[in-house]
Amino acid sequence: MNQDSRQQRLKSLLATQPRLHRLDKTNVNVLYGEPGSRQVPATIITEDKDTLLHRWIPANMNLIKEQLRSRGGLLFKGFNVSSVELFQLIVQEFSQNAMPYTQRSSPRTEIKDRIYTSTDHPADQYINMHNELSYSYRWPLQIMFYCLQPSETGGETPIADSRQVLKALSPSTRALFKEKGIMYVRNLGGGLGLDWQTVFQTSDRSEVEEECRQNEMEFEWKENNRLQIRWTRPAIVAHPVTSEEIWFNHAYFFNAANLDEEVADAVTSSEEMPFNTFYGDGTPIPGEILKEIGAAYDKAKIVFPWQKGDVLLLDNMLMSHGRNPFEGDRKIMVAMWEPNR
Domain boundaries, the chain: 3-99+140-158+303-319, 164-297
**pLDDT score, position 314:** 98
Asked whether the beta carbons of 228 and 274 are under 8 A apart, the reply is: no
Fold of 3-99+140-158+303-319: Aminopeptidase (3.40.630)
**pLDDT score, position 23:** 59
**Confidence band (pLDDT; 50, 70, 90) for 214?**
very high
**pLDDT score, position 338:** 96
Cβ-in-10-Å burial (0-12, 13-18, 19+) of 190 comes to: middle
Percent of the chain having pLDDT more than 70?
A: 89
- Looking at the domain covering 164-297, what would its CATH class be? alpha beta
pTM of the entire predicted model? 0.90
**pLDDT score, position 192:** 76
Please say if the pLDDT value at position 315 is more than 50: yes
**Confidence band (pLDDT; 50, 70, 90) for 18?**
very low
Rounded CA separation 134/132 (Å):
6
Please say if the pLDDT value at position 10 is more than 90: no
pLDDT digits (tens, 9 = 90+) for 120-162: 889 999 999 999 999 999 999 999 999 999 999 999 999 999 9
**pLDDT score, position 123:** 94
